[in-house]
Structures are given as C-alpha cells and as structure tokens.
C-alpha cells in the first residue's frame, strides 16, 4: 500500500472538550499534515516537518480545508432512507404510517441491496465513514447492508431489528426466532473485515419481556458486540412502556432487568429520564446516542447533554435517519447546538466536532480504532471546506480565530463542505 501525505489545516483533540476548556483540548495546525500508511495514521504534525521526513510519500494538498477523522453516526435506520422527511406525525403514528410499511419491503433482497447502496452513497457524500445502522426484522436487510459496506471497505455496525409484538404480523419474529436469526447474523458478520454486529431489540414496546431477555442472553454470550435500542424518546411511548411492563420501576429498569444495560449498550434518545434513570445509566456504564434532528422533527423533546456529560455517560451524535431529517452530520451538529441553546447551555464548536467524531467512537466502543487523528488510528479521513457556499464564505472571511472560521460551516454547511479522502 502506498504512503500518502495529506496537507491542510489539522485539528486534533488531545482531550475531551467536555473535560477541559476547548482551548486546552485541541491542537490546531494551519499548515498541518497527516501521514497515512497502510490505511492507518502514521504521523501527524507540521507540513514542512513531515514533508522533509517522508520524501517517499505521495502528496495530496487540500489547501486550507480542515482534515478531520470521518464523522461517525451513532444511530441510524438505513431502511428509512426512502421515507425521510415524512410529514406531520409523532413517534408511534410515524412508525405505523410510514416506517413499518416501508420496512416490510426489505424481505426483498434486491430492494434491500438497492437502498443499502443509496444509503451508503449518502453517508459518503456527507463525510460519514462509520455508522451504527438498524436494519429491519429481515436477515436479508442485514446481509444487504453488511455486504455493501464490506465491498466499500467500511468500518460499519449493523443489526437485525427484533420485534415480537405491537408491529404488523409481517414484521414480527418471536423471542426464539429473533434470538436464532440474530445469532446466525452475528456469527456470519461480526469481525468480518471491519464490520461489527449490533444486537438490536427495537425498543421495549415491540418486544415481549421474553424477547428482551433473549437479546440480553445473546449479548451475554457475545459481549464484544454492541447492543442498541431506543429509550425514553416521547412521553406517550413512556406511558405505553409503563402499561406494558407494570412491575418495572421505570423505562431504564425494563432494560436493566433484562441484561440490556452496561458498557456497549447504546440507548437512542434518552430524553425524558428520572433522577433514578440517569443514575442507573451512569452506574451501569450505559451509553447514549443523541439524535437532535429527529428529536425536533417528530417533536420528542430537548436532550440534556450537560447532565450526560456531568455523569460522564459516553454520548455520541446521531442522525437517526429517517425520523432524523438529514443525512448530514453538519446539520446534526447544528440541531444539537440549537437544542443546547434552548436548554441554556450552548455547545462550543469544539464540543460539537468532538461529539461527531471521538464522542461517537466512544459511544460505539470503537475509540481505539477510529474517531481521532492519533497515530495508529484507522485513516478514515475527511476534509471540511470552510467556505463551501457564498453565505458561509462571506461569514468565514470575518473570522478572527479558528472556531469562528469553523462554526459557520457547522451551522450552515451540507454535503458541499465534506469530502471523504481516498488513499
């Protein structure tokens, strides 16, 4: 494999900008360079220094564009690609009216393969180099996404949704069938190339206690996998969970009592939580995927990022396509910022970028492999053009520091700003 030296501005987090002030968390080089060898970051530093040290390297000059680790989407539904931006419903009606009819189409391997390609193209356009994607109830949907990601050499996480109640008959498995099919898919795909399997009970309302226990048992047998589900997204959903699981203390307890909390359990949303639930997530080491465009689009509520960070709960950033209204992690960062403003705790641009890279990598337990420019990491790199449109360029030209330069792109940027680097 050849050695490539990428030249541009570089931004590297040496610490979490939630743990120290952003200025102390980041190393920025205006004339920076990233040396890539055999698919990994081999060195990071000043352009002149690395050019002199590595005359053998092929040069790719990205000018003033920012070189970053690729964005990591901590929670998405690839089968909802074609129904993104469906109007006017809240969660349960949205699932019944739009989502379940579309997901029923994924028993068809050709359709699943077609949407998998469309979805991965959209991720690529938006600088997303890794995601944790829910599939449908059908094993064909997992095979479609995993094989498409494998052909593209991607580090990707996916899993078959488990649902044995409160869904149309053609979208239901059983506790045993959900276990058996998930186990077979896990054995087929987990650790193949750069792929990882996520055990995926959709959420408490569509799984019986027996199915959640089966998912917990499968996870206990395969602790290297992650487990993903939804938690406390909307108030009606929470009331429904209370009536379906009358002996549980609360929504978190439904998962806690079935072996579905702990490091590597990724809870989508986690918006309306009691003090006990927050403590239980922190004490069990459970992770969260924050899905801000989804939370505004279907009217779910305002996630409390400050509380999650104070409790040191590993929290990633996610599109939640297609309740999320965008494939863009830039738009997702903008929505996270807007929600943080509505809570009176505005996120710093360093915190937004960190959440979309290393934060999501931590939430997916991939932070020893991706999410940073540290030497040794896999080189899934992107560039960010900080003047990708006339509106952004005129604002950026007034910037007096790097954060003022970056913030207009985080707020107003789209797929014109992002480019995945191919080595």
Tokens representing 388? 């990708």
Q: Which is nearer to ligand GUN, 71 or 98 (CB)?
A: 98
Select the binding partner of residue 233 from Zn ion, ligand GUN, none (C-beta < 5 to 8 A, by kind): ligand GUN
Which residues touch 186 (CB under 8 Å, ≥6 apart)? Answer: 159, 197, 199, 218, 222, 225
Q: Could you tell me which residues are beta bridge partners of residue 4?
A: 36, 58
Interatomic CA distance for residues 193 and 118, integer angstroms? 21
Footprint on residues 224-263 left by ligand GUN (CB under 6 A):
230, 233
- Please report, for residues 35, 90, 110, 322, 394, the alpha-carbon distance to residue 295 in angstroms, rounded to integers and kept in the order given: 39, 10, 32, 11, 31
Q: Which is nearer to Zn ion, 16 or 294 (CB)?
A: 294
Select the binding partner of residue 202 from ligand GUN, Zn ion, none (C-beta < 5 to 8 A, by kind): ligand GUN
Q: Which is nearer to Zn ion, 281 or 298 (CB)?
A: 298
Interatomic CA distance for residues 42 and 411, integer angstroms? 32
Select the binding partner of residue 102 from ligand GUN, Zn ion, none (C-beta < 5 to 8 A, by kind): none
Interatomic CA distance for residues 340 and 317, integer angstroms? 13
Which residues touch 325 (CB under 8 Å, ≥6 apart)? Answer: 84, 85, 293, 294, 296, 297, 331
> Binding residue for ligand GUN (CB under 6 A) from 12, 37, 65, 77?
77
Taking the complex as a whole, how short is the minimal distance between the CB of residue 106 and ligand GUN, in angstroms?
A: 13
Footprint on residues 289-308 left by ligand GUN (CB under 6 A):
294
Cβ(303)–Cβ(265) under 8 Å?
no
Taking the complex as a whole, how short is the minimal distance between the CB of residue 7 and ligand GUN, in angstroms?
A: 40
Taking the complex as a whole, how short is the minimal distance between the CB of residue 266 and ligand GUN, in angstroms?
A: 13
> Binding residue for ligand GUN (CB under 6 A) from 128, 218, 308, 323?
323
- Three-state DSSP class for 165? coil
- In degrees, rounded to 5, the angle at the alpha carbon of residue 97 between the alpha carbons of residues 136 and 73 is 45
Taking the complex as a whole, how short is the minimal distance between the CB of residue 203 and ligand GUN, in angstroms?
A: 4
Q: Which is nearer to Zn ion, 320 or 358 (CB)?
A: 320
Residue nearest to ligand GUN (CB): 323
Taking the complex as a whole, how short is the minimal distance between the CB of residue 211 and ligand GUN, in angstroms?
A: 14
Binding letters toward ligand GUN, positions 88-117, x by CB under 6 A: ---x---x---x------------------
Taking the complex as a whole, how short is the minimal distance between the CB of residue 325 and ligand GUN, in angstroms?
A: 11
Footprint on residues 264-323 left by Zn ion (CB under 5 A):
268, 320
Distant-in-sequence contacts of 304-310, Cβ < 8 A, 24+ apart: 304/271, 304/273, 304/343, 305/336, 305/339, 305/340, 305/343, 305/345, 305/347, 306/340, 306/343, 306/345, 307/278, 308/270, 309/18
The answer to whether 320 contacts ligand GUN (rule: CB under 6 A) is yes
Taking the complex as a whole, how short is the minimal distance between the CB of residue 297 and Zn ion, in angstroms?
A: 12
Footprint on residues 184-223 left by ligand GUN (CB under 6 A):
202-203
Taking the complex as a whole, how short is the minimal distance between the CB of residue 91 and ligand GUN, in angstroms?
A: 6
Q: Which is nearer to Zn ion, 35 or 321 (CB)?
A: 321
Tokens representing 38? 């055999």
Tokens representing 416? 């014109």
Task: Name the site residues for ligand GUN (rule: CB under 6 A).
Answer: 77, 91, 95, 99, 202-203, 230, 233, 294, 320, 323
Task: Name the site residues for Zn ion (rule: CB under 5 A).
Answer: 268, 320
């Amino acid at each position: 494999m050849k050695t490539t030296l990428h030249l541009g501005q570089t931004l590297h987090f040496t610490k979490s900008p939630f743990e120290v002030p952003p200025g102390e968390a980041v190393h920025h080089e205006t004339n920076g360079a990233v040396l890539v060898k055999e698919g990994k970051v081999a060195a990071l530093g000043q352009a002149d220094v690395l050019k002199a040290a590595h005359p053998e390297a092929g040069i790719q000059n990205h000018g003033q564009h920012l070189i970053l680790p690729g964005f990591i989407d901590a929670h998405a539904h690839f089968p909802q690609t074609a129904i993104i931006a469906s109007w006017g419903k809240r969660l349960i009606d949205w699932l019944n009216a739009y989502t379940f009819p579309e997901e029923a189409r994924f028993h068809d391997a050709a359709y699943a393969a077609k949407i998998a390609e469309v979805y991965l193209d959209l991720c690529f356009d938006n600088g997303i180099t890794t995601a944790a994607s829910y599939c449908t109830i059908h094993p064909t949907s997992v095979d479609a996404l995993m094989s498409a990601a494998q052909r593209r050499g991607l580090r990707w996480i996916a899993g078959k949704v488990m649902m044995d109640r409160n869904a149309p008959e053609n979208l239901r498995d059983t506790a045993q069938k959900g276990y058996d099919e998930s186990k077979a898919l896990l054995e087929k795909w987990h650790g193949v190339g750069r792929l990882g399997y996520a055990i995926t009970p959709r959420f408490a309302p569509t799984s019986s206690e027996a199915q959640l226990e089966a998912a917990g048992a499968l996870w206990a047998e395969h602790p290297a996998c992650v487990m993903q589900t939804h938690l406390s997204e909307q108030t009606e959903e929470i009331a429904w969970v209370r009536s379906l699981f009358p002996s549980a203390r609360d929504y978190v307890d439904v998962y806690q009592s079935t072996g579905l909390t702990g490091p590597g359990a990724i809870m989508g949303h986690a918006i309306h939580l009691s003090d006990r639930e927050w403590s239980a997530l922190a004490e069990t080491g459970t992770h969260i995927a924050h899905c801000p465009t989804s939370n505004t689009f279907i009217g779910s509520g305002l996630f409390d990022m400050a509380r999650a960070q104070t409790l040191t709960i590993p929290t990633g950033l996610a599109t939640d396509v297609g309740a999320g209204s965008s494939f863009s992690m830039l738009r997702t960062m903008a929505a996270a910022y807007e929600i943080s403003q509505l809570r009176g705790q505005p996120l710093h641009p360093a915190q937004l970028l960190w959440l979309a890279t290393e934060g999501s990598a931590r939430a997916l337990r991939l932070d020893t492999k991706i999410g940073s420019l540290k030497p040794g990491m896999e080189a899934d790199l992107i560039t960010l053009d900080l003047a990708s449109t006339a509106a952004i360029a005129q604002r950026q030209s007034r910037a007096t520091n790097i954060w003022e330069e970056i913030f207009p792109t985080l707020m107003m940027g789209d797929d014109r700003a992002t480019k995945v680097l191919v080595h």
